[in-house]
Amino acid sequence: MTAKAMQNEAALVCAARLGDKEALRLLLTRNWAWLKALVYSIITNADDVDDVLQDICVRVISKINTLREPERFRPWMAVLARRQALRYRQRKSQRKVSLDEEVAGQQCDYKAGQLLEKLERKEQYQQIMQAIKSLPEKYRQVLMLAYLDDLTYGQIAEILDVPFTTVQIRLLRARRMIYNKVSRKTTNKV
């Protein structure tokens, strides 16, 4: 993120703190892609992402005036988003699924699987998404941010509040794990 863009974002935060709706809208929509990536990396279910994003928006709108350093908006929002997504995941895991729902879900998956078998490309996508979902959370987060929003290592480091080299290493390991899963190789490198 350039210094100018950062200044702009800080100015938007100041305006948003005063209740400027347009500033709030810009702040959220400009950071939407990585926010979505971050939420997905935690809950790993695309159908639930929108619900969590709405909760995050509500939190951001109501808590923006508590942000002390406007230039640290992204890490602040990332923490908020992470917390909200984790809470959602916990709630979801506690909810009991009835046997009927479970069976119905399996039938749907089976039908969807039959359709996907015909499409080789789709199958490959599924395979890769499965590999991504099986990654440890910290690797999945970095990978999603890098791929979904084309963020640089520096930007990812800023959002996740980790060193630059950590991002680089996590991304390398995430790629290696996906490579191992997809190519069915079992190396002890990771």
Which residues are near other proteins by CB under 8 A?
21, 24-25, 28-29, 32-33, 36-37, 40, 46-47, 49-50, 53-55, 57-58, 61-62, 124-126, 128-129, 132, 143-144, 146-148, 152-153, 168, 171-172, 175-176, 178-179, 182-183
What minimum distance in Å lies between the beta carbon of 125 and other proteins? 4
What minimum distance in Å lies between the beta carbon of 96 and other proteins? 26
Alpha helices in the chain (DSSP H): 3-17, 21-30, 32-43, 49-63, 73-94, 99-117, 120-133, 137-148, 153-160, 164-182
d(CA 30, CA 39): 16
What minimum distance in Å lies between the beta carbon of 8 and other proteins? 18
What minimum distance in Å lies between the beta carbon of 40 and other proteins? 5
Which CB atom, from 86 or from 148, has the smaller least distance to other proteins?
148
For the chain, the first-to-last Cα distance in angstroms comes to 31
